[in-house]
């Protein structure tokens, strides 16, 4: 009994200790840095990066500033080409767990590899710094006369479809040791073929036995130049590897030129003894890409595919082609042919209901629409419009845990993350965030997100609150950032603020430094060339591409460009969204081909998966943002007028649908991708 009685006293003492630690932590926490410290840091950091020793004088009062280690690392990184190991080792000893230390170690190791200072390299090397340095470490060991062991040293690298050039010396040594057997070479060639890495195949093919080199090279050619490959494939021998090359060439050519690929298939199918699986892959690719071109034979070809050749893509395109023809019986047959898991997607439940309604089977349609309308998604909102029910949005309010908050505020890594964000260094801020919260439980992550949200760091919620009940934190996941001026800028541009917010959220997920592979930048992902034209057209100031990372500038230009797209399509936000993603020229082409379709059918028949999902995501986000702004939402039916009809901006008299939280509502994301990350685009 005494044992059980002692537990509460021990627990109480533990709580006192923990509470005391938390209070002590908060007491010793650096006070919130002030504007003068931040200005001094930015000046010192710029000087350190330029190799200007004045940074030390400028940083005299910053020794306890959370980001002080970044200054030393910046100064050291500037001089790596001439630096010996001692200063680097000293920094690593003092800041062993910091991100700048990891970066400094990596950069100095790359410099030592360049110098071929393998003794110094091995003294500093740690595993886990990337493939290039892993290969440099193997080269360092080879310089000492060591031999490679394939399973121990190379198997993890060999499993990758592409490797950096730093790995070439190690791979050459492995080849010279006889470790790259024929079986291993073909294993990696097959992996590279699956990943469309023709360059990897070309580099490996020359190591094959002499009688197999040509086959390997032709597999590489099939990936790099499928048109050239099919043009000469009839002269290739009918060997297993040449059949593989021909199959890959036909598959890839089908993506680009379905008619040309079809003509080549007619010739090559009698030349090569393709396996049933290979024939299925070719026939499926041809059928799918004839469908994306909406060729006359597409629907029949998709329906006639043998079961073994069917894929999720071929089955869904069978539905899309039938929708483009408004052949409702074929729509039902195509959806019925899907496996149960695919049928449950909201898109196919919606279009099954649409087909049933078109065939005067309204009762059956309503039985599908009622549960679909309980989902806060594009198709759920369409279903709610069809049966005239409220939009099912069930928000959760964030609860505050003071103890957990204090613990987070005492976390030095999170302090650095918040401070980096405050001084407009979001990329390193995200890295510090990730490291500081590695392994944190959901409650801690939610509290950290709330702390970030209160500081105006909105993208954290988008990326962290991305599954289960966390999707219901709508305030955090769909912020209304008044300080960036979106509402007045949208109103001045003559567009709906809810739509502008939705575009921004879909484009960048609130990452002000977002940059696509095509160089689209900032919150609304504008190309500098487009932004310059928009600025000139609207009489706005233009300071060059980097000004697009300033939210105020980006939003001013982005809203004007949105207005330009809307004006081109009678104001219709759904068509303007498609144009914003894929380019207005492509939308014009699709309208010329299928401009008589209803908006939901037209969207479903957009050939680009990215654009289809983008339009659906933006339209769903528009509903959510309208609700966030006004408490109700203009319907999707109103936001998606018929092609050719003029869209009128919502105003105080526009009917809005109420938002409800039914007891059986389904929790699911409004976006197609859980992260809601930026959609790269080359059209803006």
Question: Torsions phi, psi of 485, nearest 5?
Answer: 75, 25
What six digits make up the tokens of 509? 């997920």
Of 432, 507, 613, 671, the catalytic one is 507
- How far is the C-alpha of 67 from the C-alpha of 47, rounded, in Å? 15
Burial of 616 (0-12, 13-18, 19+ CB in 10 A): buried
Question: Torsions phi, psi of 6, nearest 5?
Answer: -75, -20
Contacts of 420-428 spanning 24+ positions with Cβ under 8 A? 420/67, 421/452, 421/455, 421/457, 422/33, 422/38, 422/455, 423/38, 423/41, 423/42, 423/67, 426/511, 426/512, 426/513, 427/513, 428/70, 428/99
Is 507 catalytic? The answer is yes
Which DSSP state fits 150? I
- How far is the C-alpha of 189 from the C-alpha of 180, rounded, in Å? 12
What six digits make up the tokens of 314? 């071929």
Q: 664 Cβ partners below 8 Å, 6+ apart?
A: 371, 374
Question: In Å, what is the CA distance from 552 to each residue of 490, 530, 561?
Answer: 12, 17, 14
Nearest to 538 by CA among 571, 567, 509, 512: 567
Quick one: CA dihedral 456, 460, 462, 465, positive or negative? Answer: negative
Q: 662 Cβ partners below 8 Å, 6+ apart?
A: 374, 392
Q: 210 Cβ partners below 8 Å, 6+ apart?
A: none
Q: 557 Cβ partners below 8 Å, 6+ apart?
A: 524, 526, 531, 534, 535, 538, 540, 548
Helix (H, G, I), strand (E, B) or coil at 649: coil
Nearest to 205 by CA among 180, 236, 177, 232: 180
Helix (H) / strand (E) containing 536: helix 528-538
Q: Where are the alpha helices (DSSP H) in 293-374?
A: 298-304, 312-324, 328-336, 340-343, 346-358, 362-372
Question: CA 535 from chain center: how many Å?
Answer: 29
Question: In Å, what is the CA distance from 568 to each residue of 33, 489, 493, 500?
Answer: 48, 19, 14, 16
Which DSSP state fits 515? B
Q: 124 Cβ partners below 8 Å, 6+ apart?
A: 85, 88, 89, 92, 105, 108, 109, 112
Q: Within the chain, how many helices (H) and strands (E) appear?
A: 39, 2
- How far is the C-alpha of 274 from the C-alpha of 271, rounded, in Å? 9
- How far is the C-alpha of 459 from the C-alpha of 453, rounded, in Å? 8
Are 634 and 656 in contact by the 8 Å Cβ rule? The answer is yes
Other CB atoms within 10 Å distance of the CB of residue 429: 22
Catalytic residues: 507
């Amino acid at each position: 009994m005494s044992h059980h009685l002692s537990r509460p006293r021990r627990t109480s003492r533990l709580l006192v200790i923990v509470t005391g630690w938390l209070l002590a932590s908060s007491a010793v926490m650096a006070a919130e840095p002030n504007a003068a410290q931040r200005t001094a840091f930015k000046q010192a950091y710029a000087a350190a990066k330029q190799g200007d020793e004045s940074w030390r004088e400028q940083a005299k009062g910053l020794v306890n500033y959370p980001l002080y280690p970044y200054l030393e690392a910046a100064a050291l990184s500037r001089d790596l080409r001439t630096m010996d190991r001692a200063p680097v080792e000293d920094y690593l000893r003092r800041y062993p767990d910091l991100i700048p230390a990891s970066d400094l170690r990596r950069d100095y190791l790359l410099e030592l590899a360049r110098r071929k200072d393998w003794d110094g390299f091995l003294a500093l090397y740690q595993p886990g710094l990337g493939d290039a340095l892993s290969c440099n470490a193997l080269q360092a060991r080879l310089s000492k006369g060591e031999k490679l062991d394939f399973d121990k040293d190379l198997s993890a690298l060999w499993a990758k479809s592409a490797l950096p050039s730093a790995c070439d010396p190690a791979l050459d040594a492995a080849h010279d040791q006889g470790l790259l057997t024929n079986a291993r070479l073909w294993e990696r060639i097959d992996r590279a073929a699956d990943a469309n890495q023709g360059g990897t195949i070309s580099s490996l093919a020359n190591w094959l036995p002499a009688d197999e080199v040509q086959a390997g090279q032709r597999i590489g050619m099939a990936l790099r130049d499928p048109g050239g490959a099919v043009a000469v494939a009839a002269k290739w021998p009918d060997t297993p590897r040449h059949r593989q090359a021909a199959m890959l060439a036909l598959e890839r050519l089908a993506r680009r030129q379905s008619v040309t690929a079809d003509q080549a298939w007619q010739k090559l199918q009698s030349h090569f003894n393709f396996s049933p699986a290979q024939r299925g892959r070719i026939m499926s690719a041809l059928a799918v890409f004839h469908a994306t071109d909406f060729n006359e034979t597409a629907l029949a070809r998709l329906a006639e595919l043998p079961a073994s050749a069917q894929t999720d893509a071929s089955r869904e395109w069978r539905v899309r082609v039938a929708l483009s023809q408004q052949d409702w019986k074929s729509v039902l047959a195509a959806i019925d042919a899907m496996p149960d898991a695919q049928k449950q997607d909201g898109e196919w439940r919606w279009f099954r209901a649409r087909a049933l309604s078109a065939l005067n089977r309204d009762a059956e349609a309503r039985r599908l629409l009622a549960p679909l309308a309980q989902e806060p998604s594009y198709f759920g909102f369409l279903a709610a419009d069809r049966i005239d029910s409220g939009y099912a949005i069930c928000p959760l309010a964030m609860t505050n845990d003071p103890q957990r908050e204090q613990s987070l505020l005492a976390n030095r890594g999170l302090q650095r993350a918040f401070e980096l964000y405050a001084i407009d260094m979001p990329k390193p801020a995200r890295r510090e965030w990730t490291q500081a919260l590695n392994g944190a439980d959901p409650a801690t992550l939610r509290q950290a997100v709330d702390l970030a949200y209160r500081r105006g760091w909105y993208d954290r919620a988008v990326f962290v609150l991305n599954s289960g009940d966390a999707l219901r934190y709508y305030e955090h996941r769909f912020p209304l950032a008044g300080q960036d001026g979106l509402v007045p800028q949208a109103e001045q541009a003559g567009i709906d603020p809810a739509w502008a917010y939705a575009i921004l959220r879909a484009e960048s997920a609130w990452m002000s430094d977002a940059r696509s592979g095509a160089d689209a930048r900032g919150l609304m992902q504008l190309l500098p060339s487009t932004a310059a034209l928009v600025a000139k057209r609207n009489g706005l100031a233009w300071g060059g591409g980097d000004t697009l990372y300033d939210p105020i500038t980006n939003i001013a230009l982005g809203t004007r460009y949105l207005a330009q797209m809307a004006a081109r399509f009678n104001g219709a936000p759904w068509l303007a969204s498609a144009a914003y993603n894929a380019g207005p020229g492509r939308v014009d082409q699709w309208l010329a081909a299928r401009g008589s379709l209803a908006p939901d059918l037209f969207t479903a028949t957009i050939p680009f998966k990215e654009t289809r999902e983008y339009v659906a995501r933006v339209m769903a986000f528009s509903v959510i943002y309208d609700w966030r702004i006004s408490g109700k939402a203009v319907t999707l039916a109103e936001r998606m007028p018929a092609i050719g009809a003029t869209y009128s901006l919502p105003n105080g008299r526009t009917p809005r649908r109420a938002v409800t939280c039914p007891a059986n509502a389904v929790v699911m994301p409004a976006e197609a991708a859980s992260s809601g990350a930026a959609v790269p685009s080359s059209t803006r």
